[in-house]
Amino acid sequence: MDKNELIKKAYALAKEQYAALGVDTEKVLENMGKVIISLHCWQADDVGGFEIPNAELSGGGIQATGNYPGKATSLEEMRADLEKVLSLLPGSQRLNLHAIYGDFEGERVDRDQIEVKHFQSWIDWCKKQGIGIDFNASFFSHPNADSGYTLSSKDESVRQFWVEHLKCCRLISAEIGKQLKSPCVHNIWIPDGSKDTPIDRNGLRKILKKSLDEAMEIEYPKEYMKDAVESKLFGIGAESMTVGSHDFYMGYAISRNKMICLDNGHFHPTEQVGDKISACLQFLDEVLLHITRPVRWDSDHVVTLNDDVQLIASEIIRNDFFDRVNIGLDFFDASINRIGAYVVGTRAVKKAFMIAMLEPTSKLTEFEEAGQNFERLALLEELKTKPFGAVWDYYCLQENVPVGEGFIADIQEYEKKILSKR
């Protein structure tokens, strides 16, 4: 039988099985359009950016491991890679840019000097792709981050430098959102923290609060840009204390009406971000997610379809939180084909959303409300082996992207033709 015919036949059977549970797969296919994922540009080049030649990169705050050949070394290469990635993904995406990815045209532009013009070619490119942009100030890989402190620095000139950077980034974000007619989510993550036990935790947090308030004094319209602050438990070199902890930023976000960014690599390993969404949304209008796969620590492995990601997706679907949750990815694996990393990770997130949509939630709620917890457990277990794959394949077919493992060959070809020649 023709391959496509087979996919359609399998879908027809799956449709019936789900219908028997009260789930309308046609509705699910339609609703998948709401799952818009912000693709983090930094998977393409191991968080290097285009500020200065690679070799001169200062450490300070972030690192990718691996040196698989083919990483993007210019804006042109990065855009070509992203176009390839976009062509292999079903549904809609956005682009998530870091400030170090500007179009600096060989000029040295320090972070407190960046302007909209350095991102105009990105805006134009995204307009052409029909996608929105999200943005991030970059508080790492810079000599002013080498001390381990940026916005919480006790060195006033260092602190001022980063406050300025943040102001520039928020302005750029607002202009991006205005031009693309889609609010630009601006996220703040700083690496600030202490390797060994500090004495003055309070002083550092007071400074961070002051710096954030200063840099965010200007309010931009929500149609243009929205601020988010990202907490973290610890980082390499900041094992004993992180200034921007979860408690700090939760308080900040609630009191300043900002978003909290929940990165599922940034908590104790058994904490689940999926559980935090409904907690945060009792007090905040919106949250931002950084979906990643922490393997034993915040290792930023490529996302796979695991329980953590599933709970995140299920919580959003069960509560129809689409308008209040912004979905971003945050992983960077330099040890495998980077295009493949994007496609596998993004598809895994989309799959989690589809599985969530294929859940007979009202039936499960009925069981729960009636105290029928065995029944709830049994149905949840049975759902795991329903023919989700047939619906997923049909969705990919409909979206005109490779079905199933079909994208592997596409990526191999791209590697042979393009990546291996870099």
Q: List residues with catalytic annotation.
A: 189, 230, 232, 263, 266, 290, 298, 300, 330
Is the backbone of residue 349 left (phi > 0), alpha (psi -120 to 50) or beta? Answer: alpha
- Mapped onto helix, strand or coil, the DSSP state of residue 268 is coil
Closer to ligand RNT by CB, 290 or 386: give it.
290
Residue type, 128: K
By CB under 6 A, is residue 393 in contact with ligand RNT? no
DSSP output for 52-118: S-GGG---SS-------S----SHHHHHHHHHHHHHTS-S-EEEEEEGGG---TT----GGG--GGG
Closer to Zn ion by CB, 189 or 220: give it.
189
DSSP output for 217-245: -SPPPTTTEEEEEE--S-BTTB-SEESS-
- Figure out which of the listed residues 165, 186, 205, 290 binds Zn ion, where binding follows CB under 5 A: 290
Rounded to whole angstroms, how far apart are CA atoms 295 and 293? 6
Q: In the window 249-278, what residues touch Zn ion (CB under 5 A)?
A: 263
Do 308 and 273 contact (CB within 8 A), yes or no? yes
Q: In the window 259-278, what residues touch ligand RNT (CB under 6 A)?
A: 263
Rounded to whole angstroms, how far apart are CA atoms 143 and 112? 13
- Figure out which of the listed residues 136, 182, 194, 245 binds ligand RNT, where binding follows CB under 6 A: 136
By CB under 6 A, is residue 47 in contact with ligand RNT? yes
Q: In the window 281-340, what residues touch ligand RNT (CB under 6 A)?
A: 290, 298, 330
Let me know the angle formed at the C-alpha of 224 by 218 and 227, rounded to the nearest 5 degrees.
60
Closer to Zn ion by CB, 148 or 244: give it.
244
In the complex, the smallest distance separating the C-beta of residue 309 from ligand RNT, rounded to whole angstroms, is 16
Q: How many residues of this chain interact with ligand RNT, rule: CB under 6 A? A: 11
Q: Which residue is nearest to ligand RNT (CB)?
A: 189
In the complex, the smallest distance separating the C-beta of residue 416 from ligand RNT, rounded to whole angstroms, is 29
- Figure out which of the listed residues 189, 234, 267, 353 binds ligand RNT, where binding follows CB under 6 A: 189
Let me know the angle formed at the C-alpha of 28 by 23 and 29, rounded to the nearest 5 degrees.
140
Q: Which parts of this chain interact with ligand RNT (CB under 6 A)?
A: 42, 47, 62, 136, 189, 230, 232, 263, 290, 298, 330
Q: Which parts of this chain interact with Zn ion (CB under 5 A)?
A: 263, 290, 330
